[in-house]
Amino acid sequence: MHIKRFFGGIALLVAGLTGCGVTPPAPELDGPVPADPTRIPFVAPAAVQGLTPMTVTDENSAYVLYPHFADVPAFNRALRQEVDRQLTEFRERTRGSGLRSELTVEWRLAAFSPQVIGVRLRTGEFADGGWGHSLRTLWYDRGSGQAVPSKGLVKDLPAVKRLVLDQLLRRERIGDPGSGTRPLVTDEAMDSMAFNADGDLVVEFDDCQVAACAQGRVAVTVSAEQALPLLSRTGRLAQAAALRAALRPAVPPLAQTPATPSPSSAVPRFLAAPPSRAVDCATAKCVALTFEDGPGPHTADLLDILRKEHARATFFTVGLNAAADPDIVRRIHREGHVVANHTWAHLDLTKLSSSRVTDSLSRTQDALAAATGERPTLARPPYGNAGREAEAVAERLGLALVTWDVDAGDEHERAPCEIVRKVVGEAHAGAIVRMHEIHRTTVEAVAAILKELRRKGFELVTVPELYGDAGMRAGRVYSSGPLD
């Protein structure tokens, strides 16, 4: 009741301000342009209690991130089904092609209120030497307990499609007066809808779906006034959630946190080891366990095991996951482990432009610094693929690049005993061991790995400790300790 009254007032206000109720055509930029009416006021995931970032990987070519919420099993199932569907279709499309392809799914919270949750999945697929993107927004109505596709936000889809087509045709005239083709808006194309801060309905399309591929992201708005009579009950709740989010004081952007990026001239090229413990890896048999792709649902258990065994490790965390759960990142740091950078969304850096490599690494630096108060000095390139451009960027950002020379082979769930056998069998003085904390069986293997390695006389250290006083250099790639 409160929501309805509140929403009604805002809607009238919005209608009054926009007058004719027709929003201008949307610019094609996909970025934080303040005047862009197609910009969705995404909710900061760190503000959501009980949200766990989830990761699914496949054959070293697919990397899918999605959120898991406390207390909404039906929505969690729908999100998991959606990412499984995308993974299956990707596998079928690329099976036996022999070409290098890659799938990445990132997520944002389009809305989070006591009534509704909206999750927007952005899928990137690398094929034929370039990236293509698609968007899909899934909704959850807490009142009905149902997961709802974007189409479920409206009760009159044909009417909304007509308004959307009208907007697209206006853009067409402005952008390309010579074009006589009419964009085709199918029901399937209406699978990513949300609301902007004014309560306008924002409809986003996949690359190449309704316009020339060169246009990139295409999104249009249907004004709040026009959309209101066409919305379903869930749609009205979603609209109210966007309006309420817009009225809340903004969460300060990461760049405004105390740990602001230092100017590039001040970035250290030579990275000294942290205050060292009694262990000297020049004489002792040291092994550095590294965990990547988290934080995730098993990270807290892993930290419990490491604490119990008095062992320290290095965590290469994914920026998007870290931003969603900064508390666990803070705990990793507080318990004496090294928090390091594994890029924002786990894209293969060799397939990105230099500016996107910079963006991926520096956004993650900001998220990790906001959580721990310290800027990381280590990064691991996804799949171990760096390349000269990424090395140059890493040098500018003050990051040494760390790969591995012992791989636990645990990209998929594997029996803990197999993981123990492989790691313990291949460990040597100066080894950097790669493991994935996102798998339960990997975490289950850790206690036995620690015991076995110690029994064989190994000291367990962090990656910087492996190099001791020799230190590590920004921009250089390290795959094992100096004794190897």
Helix axes 2-18, 233-247, angle to 10 degrees: 80
**CB 435 to Ni ion: min, Å:** 10
Query: Closer CB to Ni ion, residue 172 or residue 411?
Result: 411
Cα 153 from Cα 141, distance rounded (Å): 10
DSSP string, 66-91: EEEETT-HHHHHHHHHHHHHHHHHHH
**CB 380 to Ni ion: min, Å:** 7
Query: Closer CB to Ni ion, residue 108 or residue 436?
Result: 436
437 binds Ni ion (CB under 5 A): no
Query: Closer CB to Ni ion, residue 150 or residue 364?
Result: 364
Q: Is 483 helix (H, G, I), strand (E, B) or coil?
A: coil
Q: Who's near 58: CB < 8 A, 6+ residues apart? A: 64, 87, 90, 91, 103
Query: Closer CB to Ni ion, residue 120 or residue 363?
Result: 363
Query: Closer CB to Ni ion, residue 148 or residue 352?
Result: 352
Residues 282-341 close enough to bind Ni ion by CB under 5 A: 292-293
**CB 65 to Ni ion: min, Å:** 11
**CB 462 to Ni ion: min, Å:** 18
Query: Closer CB to Ni ion, residue 198 or residue 292?
Result: 292
Query: Closer CB to Ni ion, residue 315 or residue 458?
Result: 315
What are 285's two structure tokens?
């048999």
Task: Find out whether 297 and 54 touch, Cβ atoms under 8 Å.
Answer: yes
Please report which helix (H) or strand (E) contains residue 117, including its range: strand 116-127
**CB 334 to Ni ion: min, Å:** 23
Please report which helix (H) or strand (E) contains residue 372, including its range: helix 354-372
Task: Find out whether 330 and 50 touch, Cβ atoms under 8 Å.
Answer: no
Strands (E), 211-266: 218-222
**CB 438 to Ni ion: min, Å:** 9
**CB 384 to Ni ion: min, Å:** 9
Size of the site for Ni ion (CB under 5 A): 2
CB atoms within 10 A of CB 389: 16
Residues 181-204: b if buried by 16+ CB within 10 A, e if exposed: eebebeeebbbbbbbbebbbbbbb
Binding mask 242-281 for Ni ion (x = CB under 5 A): ----------------------------------------
Query: Closer CB to Ni ion, residue 39 or residue 380?
Result: 380
Which of 364, 429, 357 lies closest to 391 in space, CA to CA?
357
**CB 480 to Ni ion: min, Å:** 18
Would you tell me which residues interact with Ni ion (CB under 5 A)?
A: 292-293
